[in-house]
Structure 1
């Protein structure tokens, strides 16, 4: 009995309410005096207890003289409570995921793995938001909507940051064609230099030579179509490593620029 009472208390019932609900399940319906007797509860408290159970949806009251109380079937109660709990957990998960995603770039950890294309793009735009001087982007591929998100974030940055991009002209995501170079050229971003080239299917965005987001994904077919659900982002804050990658990028960029 104690375990059952404790379980009902976890659903928001008091001890007396739990006893009354258990007792009413034994007789299904009855008057207040009947429920007090079967539940071993004081008659002076039974009306308040039953009113509390009605407010919480555990009993139904048939108004009259005398009033009749009918138990709400346990399967109904527990189904509703499960649905409520799941809704609350899912809402909490969503809120915490948003907090986690928004704050992850502020955590002073050297390397983070980020799954899910949406969160990868959000992390990149957050990185751009914090950029003080420069962005370099090696775009072997872009995810759906990623170019537009990057452009929007750069335009929203109040600083006059420089943007240098090496990119494949196009890529495919789930066999849908994405214009990489053309999209950036049409954006009219200030301080943008972009060079079309042939790159491996990886992506690396570096901010201020000290933080980078690299993205890898599986691809398939003759057109190397990206499978977005396989995408993994790597947020790297090892300053020395980021600077080495950025220096290598700039050397390659200047070399190709001279050949144009």
Structure 2
């Protein structure tokens, strides 16, 4: 009975790396005996003798073993460290390429959805959507931060810095502070960096991210005193261009005329 002790996560990893059950058994067997003939590997792995050559050739093709020519053929294991590093790089490259290709498809077709308005619930989903919208900006970014969730200011800063580096006109109107879990977070200090246009005003408890006058997310949340109640958060993700352009105009008007009281210079 095949009894090389490995946990399920190891078997799962080998499956992710593209190995079948027989191939996983065979590779595990070779990691224990290091080198062997087909007969020896078949015995340790309990892969049928009629299948073992096919399995071993497949493992060689996938880069898990090497074959030493001779009579009989010897099959040598490639060290797991080398195998996993190669597979890790291949998987990472494949995922990066797949993500890029699918993002192009997604962004080219999302505006064709008949009613491009969605409700989004929960702070984690809202913050992820904000970062996603920021990453799609090509020309302009408007952000209004009437409140923030825990850890959000730093995530916004990283995304906005990347946008500014790409030459995207980026501005943010924010409150001077917000209360998160009973702690006062000075938002301007957390999000500000060189090159960011920022104004600190006494704005309502509304959060907005708007890019290229084409797409926006407006978020709302209930409060207990000054404390944000994250579980009550909800956002409206909107891609009706006429509506987004109208909100963009309102934002620009607020920015130019400072309709709300200026609190401090960051």
Using structure 2 for the length normalisation, give the TM-score.
Answer: 0.53
Q: How does 1:1-260 map to 2 (within 5 A)?
A: 106=107, 107-108=110-111, 109=113, 110-157=116-163, 159-185=166-192, 187-188=193-194, 190=195, 192-221=196-225, 224-256=226-258
Deviation readout 1:72-99 (Å, 9 max, x if unpaired): xxxxxxxxxxxxxxxxxxxxxxxxxxx9
SS at match of 1:121: helix
SS at match of 1:241: helix
Comparing 149-158 and 128-137, the one that deviates more? 149-158
Cα distance in 2 between the residues matched to 1:218 and 1:175: 15
Deviation readout 1:152-191 (Å, 9 max, x if unpaired): 1223346211111111100112322221112222x33x2x
Instruction: Indicate the structure (1 or 2) with the bigger Cα radius of gyration.
Output: 1
Which runs of 5 or more residues in structure 2 are unaligned?
Answer: 1-98
Paired residues of 1:173 and 1:228 also in contact (CA < 8 A): no
Paired residues of 1:144 and 1:178 also in contact (CA < 8 A): no
Query: Which residue does 1:75 correspond to in 2?
Result: none
Cα distance in 1 between the residues matched to 2:255 and 2:162: 25
Paired residues of 1:143 and 1:228 also in contact (CA < 8 A): yes
SS at match of 1:166: strand
Which runs of 5 or more residues in structure 1 are unaligned?
Answer: 1-98
Cα distance in 2 between the residues matched to 1:130 and 1:231: 23
**How many pairs align?**
154
Using structure 1 for the length normalisation, give the TM-score.
Answer: 0.54
Paired residues of 2:172 and 2:199 also in contact (CA < 8 A): yes
SS at match of 1:143: coil
SS at match of 2:243: helix
Report deviation, 1:207: 0.5
Report deviation, 1:197: 0.8
Cα distance in 1 between the residues matched to 2:208 and 2:120: 14
